[in-house]
Every structure is written in C-alpha cells, then in structure tokens.
A = this chain, B = another copy of it.
Amino acid sequence: MTRRGRPTLAAVAAEAGVSLATVSKVLNDRTDVSARTRARVRVVLDEHGYEPTAHRGARGRWLVSLVLPALDSPYALEVLRGVTASELDVVVCSLADSTATAPWTAQVLAPGRAGTIAVVPELTPAERGLLAGARTPCVVVDPTSSDPQLPSVGATNRAGGFAATRHLLDLGHRRIGVIGGPRQVLCSRERVEGYAAALTSHGLPLDPALVRSGDFHHAGGLAATRALLALPSPPSAVFAGSDEQALGAVDAARQAGLRVPEDLSVVGFDDLPVSRWASPALTTVRQPLAEMGATAAAMLLSLLDGVPLDQPQVELPTRLCVRATTAPPPRTSEGRRRPQAAVA
C-alpha cells in the first residue's frame, strides 16, 4: 500500500521489456499502445503498486459501441455476452431506441468511442455513409451481405440449413416445410438455400408452398406453421430457421392438436439457452453467437491496435444438435394425426 520502495519507471520498463516512453503511455491511458503490450506493462506496474487495483481493469480500455437490432431476443444477449467478455468497454445501443433526435448513429459517432461492433440487419445508404465517414473501425456480426470491404463475423448458415434438412430427410421425412427470417437477411437466405440443396441432393423437388418467411420471432413461426399445417398436403416436419420461430412452430402444432415430435418434427436454428429449456427440448442448429461476439471484439481490438486482419471475413461453424423435437414421420398421415386433446 505504501508507495515507498517502488522501483523506478525505468526499472518497470526493463522488467516489462518495453521503452520508458511506453510505460509512460500506459500510465497515462494513452491508446497508441497495443493491447498486449498494455496488459504486460500494467501487470508489472501493478505488481509494484503503481496503479490502484480498483482502476486497473478499466483504465486504458477502449470504449466501443455495440449496436444491436433490439433487446427483445436472447439472440442479442448471446452476442452481448461474447463481446463483453473481451477487453473492451462496451456501450450498448439498440436500434429500437433510435429516434430522429437521438439516432443510433449518434452513439456510434459520439466522441470518445473508439470503434463499433454492429449487429444490424440492414443499413440505409445514409447510415452506411455515416459509418464509413466515422473513421473509427467497425466490425459487423451476422452481415447482411458479403461486402469484402467490411470486416465481419458470420456463421456457416448454408451448411446449417443443409444439416437440419438432411437430419429430417434421414429420419424419413419427405414433405418438409421451411420458415426463413425476413427475406432480405443474408443469413436467412443462406439457411433456406441449404434446405433447398439438401432436398436436391436427395432428388426431391422444391415445393414453393412449403417455403415460408417469418420475422425470426415466435409470432412469425406460429403464423407460418399454421399456414403450413393448413395446406392440403401439410408437411410432417418444419425447419423453422430460428429457435424462436421453432417455439412458435411447436405452439402451432399444439394448438392444432398435434404432438411434437410424434406428429410434427421441428428443427430450430441458433441453439439459444431457451432451446434447452423448452419441453421437449428443441433439436436445433447451433450457431456460436457468443463466440461470434467474442471474435468480433477480438477483430476490433486488433484494428484498434493498428494490426490489419489476416482474415476480414470470418465464418464460424454451425453444428446440428439433435434433441427431442425430431422423430420419424407418422406412419400414416391420418392414423397418427389425431388431436392429443381427444386422447387425454
């Protein structure tokens, strides 16, 4: 606790293997020191009592904006969890709170913000221009398009859609519905493309009546599944495109007196915690959202340290998680499709 007996800053510099100027920069919270060097110098400074413990972690950390589409989905929470686990100080802005007098772009361009991690389904040309003019680095999570100019972190959505559909085909399903998210969203289009590719690889035609669009939320999954179940020849399985939509699909099945998975199989996408809390637990395609957030944070840190990215477009792998909402199709469509209420 006493400051007497501490080594000089020159001795600290020698111990940390850096110049005295660098030690001085770290002490003064200057940002032109790489994160790695800063961490090393700070450890040595701390060992010798140069920094009060309480300030150590937060001083000299970059303050960045994390822009999320809305804070109404566990999807946002997963990404946030990954980003905050980094060495960044993260100001959270929601597009849902954006107003004419306080637009979200103002947050991003606010003085003191070193950079941005953006999870925004769509940018208007004006917003794109503003961000481009911000002169602070930006990394996009779940990009809406493959823009080689824009550092981004996505997931292998096409492979995920393929795996989900192949799982249902392997169980014996032949009429499989798919519910995408909003049509303009890249990740959604890719999942539906994966679905189509799996059908093709099984020599099955694509029936446009089985391809629906949702909003990625419960309501969208509920409405689209109702429509699918009302078809003259309804599907025996639904690949729901997101976990929330899958929960809506399960709800639609229950409301129609169908059991999941005995009468209708359902596959989600995301592997949000809620997919494991559902009863029965959801079969789903895991996309590592927290890891995507953490990767975006690491990329932003690198850019802030002036280190160019080896790989500006990163795609993390998705993985099928088979749980309890998928099973072989009912043997006869009419024989097993009896309402549960009549049984109980």
Which A positions have Cβ atoms within 8 angstroms of B? 29, 43, 46, 53-59, 61, 63, 71-74, 76-77, 80-81, 84-85, 87, 89-94, 97, 99, 101-103, 105-107, 109-112, 130, 218, 244, 247-248, 250-251, 254, 259, 262, 273-274, 276-281, 340, 343-344
Contact = CB atoms under 8 A, between A and B. Distances in A.
B280 A102 contact: no
A77 B78 CA distance: 10
Contacts of A101: 43, 46, 56-57
A84 B93 contact: yes
Contacts of A112: 63, 112
A292 to B, nearest CB: 14
B90 A91 contact: yes
B89 A59 contact: no
Given A274-B274, A277-B274, A94 B84 contact: yes
A333 B279 CA distance: 23
A63 B63 CA distance: 11
A2 B73 CA distance: 42
B254 A103 contact: no
Nearest to A103: B57
Given A57-B106, A77-B77, 8 more contacts: A54-B105, A57-B101, A61-B110, A87-B102, A90-B91, A244-B277, A251-B279, A278-B278
Nearest to A93: B84
A53 B109 CA distance: 10
Contacts of A343: 343-344
Given A254-B280, A278-B278, A280-B254, A130 B244 contact: no
Given A58-B109, A244-B277, A92 B94 contact: no
A71 B80 CA distance: 8
26 contacts: A46-B101, A53-B103, A53-B106, A54-B103, A54-B106, A54-B130, A55-B110, A56-B102, A57-B102, A61-B110, A63-B91, A71-B77, A71-B80, A72-B273, A74-B77, A81-B94, A90-B91, A92-B92, A112-B112, A218-B273, A247-B277, A250-B279, A274-B274, A274-B277, A278-B279, A343-B343
A110 B58 contact: yes
A53 to B, nearest CB: 7
A109 B55 contact: yes
A74 B251 CA distance: 20
A254 B56 CA distance: 49
B110 A279 contact: no
A112 B53 CA distance: 17
B344 A259 contact: yes
Contacts of A99: 57
A181 to B, nearest CB: 16
A248 B277 contact: yes
B72 A81 contact: yes
Contact of A58 (B43, B58, B107, B273): B107
Nearest to A338: B344
Contacts of A280: 254
A281 B251 CA distance: 9
A239 to B, nearest CB: 18
- When A and B form their complex, which 4 residue pairs have the shortest distance between CB atoms, in order from nearest? A57-B102, A58-B110, A57-B106, A71-B81
